Structures are given as C-alpha cells and as structure tokens.
Structure 1
Amino acid sequence: MTEALVVLCNVPDAGCAERIARALVERRLAACVNILHPCLSVYRWQGEVETQHEIPLLIKTTAACFAALSAALSELHPYEVPEIIALPVSAGLPAYLGWVSQETRAE
C-alpha cells in the first residue's frame, strides 16, 4: 500500500481554502481536504511578530504525490512562503488508506 500523508497548510480565508481544496482534489493530488474553522496564528515574519486569523487545511495524500502537491500549493497559495508540512500516517483503517491511494496519482 502507498504511504499516506497528512499535509498541513493554513490559508488566509474561506474562499482561498475552498479554491485550493477543490483544485487539489480535482487534480487528484489529494483524496480529501478538510477545511477547518478559523484559528488565530501568531508567528514571526520578516523580523516582526504577526497575528492573523487563518483557515487550517488537512490534506490527505500519498508520499508519491507530495512533490506535485507541494508545487501546486505553492502556485495556488497567496502567501510568499506558505506553510506546507507533511506528516506520515503511521497507521489507519486499511480500507481508508487504500481509498486515499486510489483517489490520488502523481503527475
């Protein structure tokens, strides 16, 4: 079975979240994208501490798709340096992990 990943990415607003989620699923780079409730992010950017409301995305994909997914996120995302963090899935329901594998493909 292909190695599954969960990719974390915050975006600035709901419209951006929906646009990116749909594009990733349509391109088969993600099997599913969960768009979560807004959160408050506190981070350092260009020497200043910033506070921003953002929308977290949980992107289900495979290791084979990660490079293409990362490139697509970088292209679609409005931030200069978007958060793109991949976490390996160490275990899961085999049927679900199989579905993630079937619904994605590396470009």
Structure 2
Amino acid sequence: MAYVTAPDRATARDIARAVLDRRLAACANLWPVESVYRWHGKREETNEFVIVFKTRAELLPKLIGVVRRLHPSEVPCIVSYPMGPALDEYLDWIDAETVQR
C-alpha cells in the first residue's frame, strides 16, 4: 500500500487516475485532511488530500515515479507500508486489476 498527500482534490484525483490508468494500483481512496508539519524550520498548517493506493509491493517503484512526475511539491509525501493479512479474494482482486509481473 502507498500513502500520498496532495495539495488539493483536483491534484489528488489526477494522480490517482494516472496511477490507476497505468494499472499500478487497483484502488485509490481520497479524503481531505488537515496537516500540521515542519518545513524549512517553520511550522506549517494546511488542508490537503490523502491518497491511499492498494497495490503490490513490486509496483511501488513505478507508482512512486508516476506520483513524483505529477506532484507539484518539492518533496511530496510518498510513504509505503506492507499490507498485512487480508481477505484472499481482496488480494486476488488487487492482483487481477494491476499490471502483471
């Protein structure tokens, strides 16, 4: 799975569509968040959109490449984490909907 933030809904949707169109993820969930973080020594507060991608670990390098090309931020938040135990049928669906090895 991958966790990405985007500055607004339109950017998040564009990134999600680009990743899914390339079959690098089976699903993308988008939702608004309020972020408080440090940047260049200062505290920043902003509204953003989170994108959570359901994907396979081996597709993460390509997914990250697509996000980096489309993301307007200097250092975009792109974090991946392993998918724990899940429903077998759900994992099969992710396999079926993403580009094959």
The verdict on a shared fold, with TM-score over 0.5 as the criterion, is: yes
CA deviations on 1:15-42 (whole Å, 9 max, x unpaired) are 1111111110001111100111x21101
CA deviations on 1:44-76 (whole Å, 9 max, x unpaired) are 111111001001111111111000001111111
Amino acid at match of 2:93: W
Residue aligning to 2:39: 45
TM-score (norm 1): 0.89
Structure 1 CA distance for aligned equivalents of residues 33 and 3 of structure 2: 13
**Paired positions, count:** 101
SS in structure 2 of the partner of residue 43 of structure 1: strand
Residue aligning to 1:3: none
Correspondences of 1:7-46 after superposition (within 5 Å): 7-36=2-31, 38-46=32-40
Contact 1:29 1:106 in 2 (8 A): no
Q: Cα distance, 1:89 vs. partner?
A: 0.9
Q: Which runs of 5+ in 2 are unaligned?
A: none
Runs of 4+ aligned structure 1 residues displaced above 3 Å come to none
Residue aligning to 1:91: 85
TM-score (norm 2): 0.94
Structure 2 CA distance for aligned equivalents of residues 17 and 106 of structure 1: 25
Amino acid at match of 1:54: E
SS in structure 1 of the partner of residue 99 of structure 2: coil
Q: CA RMSD in A?
A: 1.3
Structure 2 CA distance for aligned equivalents of residues 21 and 7 of structure 1: 11
Q: Cα distance, 1:105 vs. partner?
A: 2.1
Q: Which runs of 5+ in 1 are unaligned?
A: 1-5
Structure 2 CA distance for aligned equivalents of residues 106 and 51 of structure 1: 40
Structure 2 CA distance for aligned equivalents of residues 64 and 39 of structure 1: 28
